[in-house]
Amino acid sequence: MEQVIPQEMFRLFGIPVRDTVVSTWIMMAFVVGAVLLVRKKAPIVLEMIVDFTGDLASSFIQGPTSPYIPFLGSLLLFILFANLFGIFPVVVTPTRDINTPLAMSLVVLIASFAFTIKVKGLGGFAKTFLTPLVPLDLIGYFSRTMSLTLRLFGNILGGEVIVSVLISLIPVGVPLVMVLLASITGVLQAYVFTVLAASYIASAVGDASA
């Protein structure tokens, strides 16, 4: 079980840095390198990703979706690669640590506020907090952030725990099946996270304007 729990690797200016953070750095370098390579060799792949994100956004958000595509697309790519990065040897899955999904969910929360300010202005944003149902809204913001975090973290951690238990039982061959299943779950969770982020942003942006 020890290999599932994130370990502290070193301290940077007194701040403990876990192995998941180092793995995230390696992953970010890998993704940036891959995107630069793909842009030179086959730019149509990148256009397909942008189209996919645009379709995903346009099924939730009314009006032009181009302001939201950079945010949703980077969220999709980051979580997709973060979920799948544990396949490679030596590195660990970044989303295995609860802090990574929590950071993503907080980014979604802040982005929904930022998009609300951008669309409706600061007054419109303040007006969403001037209703009698503010406590319920605050509970909603908290619980949707918690549910986004725990869903991603629990899915990835569940896969990792099952694989590590299987490795301790039958080390050869059999864990590969569960690794495959966990990878499918990881792809699906990246999609679901992005879809839910899009729907939260859509509800925040289009809510009080009516």
Residues forming contacts to another protein in the complex (CB under 8 A) are 1, 59, 147, 150-151, 153-155, 157-158, 161, 188-189, 191-192, 195-196, 199
82 or 152: CB nearest another protein: 152
92 or 157: CB nearest another protein: 157
Q: How far is the CB of 193 from another protein (least distance, A)?
A: 9
Q: How far is the CB of 192 from another protein (least distance, A)?
A: 4
- CA 155, distance to chain mean position in Å, is 12
Q: Which residues of 114-142 are buried (b: 16+ CB within 10 A; e: fewer)?
A: ebbeebbeeeebeebeeeeeeeeeeeeee
User: Which amino acid type is present at position 21?
Assistant: V
Calpha distance 154→40 (Å, rounded): 37
73 or 101: CB nearest another protein: 101
What element of type H or E holds 6?
none
Q: How far is the CB of 1 from another protein (least distance, A)?
A: 6
2 or 11: CB nearest another protein: 2
71 or 153: CB nearest another protein: 153
CB 67 within 8 A of CB 115: yes
Calpha distance 154→203 (Å, rounded): 25
Q: How far is the CB of 25 from another protein (least distance, A)?
A: 27
23 or 194: CB nearest another protein: 194
Q: How far is CA 124 from CA 17, 61, 114, 119, 181, in A?
A: 40, 18, 12, 9, 45
- 10 - beta bridge partners? 17
Q: How far is the CB of 157 from another protein (least distance, A)?
A: 7
- 16 - beta bridge partners? 11
Q: How far is the CB of 161 from another protein (least distance, A)?
A: 7
